[in-house]
Structure 1
Amino acid sequence: MPPREQRALMYEKKFSIAAETRSTTATKGRRHTHKCFEIVIVHQGAIILSLDTSTQVLTAGDAIIFHGSLLHGGRTLGSAYTRTAFHLNINKADVIDWCKLIPADAKSFVYAYLPQTCYPAFFENLTKLSEQPAKGDISQQDTDLVANVLSTLQVVERPKQAALHPVVRESIKLMTQMNTATQISDLARRLYISQSHLFALFHNNLMCSPYQLWMKIRIEQACNKILKEQIPVNDLVKMFGFTTRRSFERAFRRYTGTTVSQYRELGWCSSW
């Protein structure tokens, strides 16, 4: 794991790259946007990450590459997590073809996997890229260095979650797909295990219960709706399977630290 640090690799050059490694227990991070590419790599713990309308769980080794114009933010799942975020302001991206992974319209994102053993090479390649001269056109060496950075990351269809038990991985996948009114008992039946076994696996892998994760996914999805659409609270209650408006508002405030009306106004404007 890299040391906890804040380090600016380069400023006012051809490639502006800032790296920050953070260990945190924060659960109240809000969505934000910016004007550069971002690579987030999880080293320890787990993050529940929302990017535009997608909600995913990232664990150690998982990475995601996207353009910061997409509304995004993450919160800890369990007790704490450690991650590194790289912000890359790359001029003439169309020339160096950085967008082979990220569509030019910046409306999508790519999941990747970076084993701990590969992190030093990844960071070294980024450092070499940052040391390129400030002046001059994009060179073949620049292009090769960018290619080396990207090749270190193993592109995957969805978060690999390699540190998790296979049953927990499948549970997370189902939670993001199942009807919100479905019970945890139904989830256990679909996985052919007992509820007690499912709870034990979640505690050992994520330090939370299946119910706690599912609640966070539902609230995170509700946050997506609140920020994208003007949906009345009563409709959100039905949409995400809560029995009463009061139970939804209580869960929402406990998870986000604010009310629905406050979140509509403030939920996108802070960094994590």
Structure 2
Amino acid sequence: MFELNHKKAVITGGGSGIGRAIATLFARQGAQVHIVDISDAACADTVRDIADAGGVAHGHACDVTRQEAVHATFDAIGPIDILINNAGIAHIGKADNTPEQDFDRVMSVNVKGVYNCLHAAIPLLRENGGGAIVNMASVAAWVAVAERFAYSTAKGAVMAMTLSVAKDYLQDSIRCNSISPGRVHTPFVDGFLSKQYPGREAEMFERLSKTQPIGRMARPDEVAALALYLCSDAASFITGSDYPIDGGFITLNS
């Protein structure tokens, strides 16, 4: 039902975590996958895993904050059917203790990076007769999350960009939606816990898991399944929408 045969998909931040899960699933469903990541090694690992499973994947090392590099990468890829704007970074801090350089870095990756990829991809989607875009937003764009000032600001911008793109490119048969995950168990979470809570990783993992009303974090493959649906022909009537996948965090955590 959700096959992507003969589709060409670009997944930014596809070298790890949610992006890697999306790339792997899309390739399994028949897409030709192009992984864009700042790390050559991360690209290579995902490409190898997909190839070993019989899929088709290509890796492209690229810093999404640099528009010239983004355009060169997308031009090399050529006409596409799907863009997943997944590359992003996290940040912890309030408005009065977030250093300017940290704020600028979050905006550069999480907002400008999405803009740069949209700027490069939309002409390629239009050239190909349309397609689907999914931007990775966050529950932090919906509700107040403590000490996530810069991150929440950026993800709010991603949600607004989603609506704008959906409106502006209806006549080009380009659909644009976003996904708002709650906490997802990725390598980032494990690294954060080992750095901030050495020796207490299991305890803190359990505590973070219980902040989701459903009692656990999401798995990357669960987010990937939602992205697959939104990029498939089964979702051809859906555009300009955000889809929380949060274990009830937005509506049940009050």
Question: TM-score, length-normalised on structure 2?
Answer: 0.30
Question: TM-score, length-normalised on structure 1?
Answer: 0.29
Higher fraction of helix: 2
Higher RCO structure (Cα 8 Å, ≥6 apart): 1
- Structure showing greater radius of gyration is 1
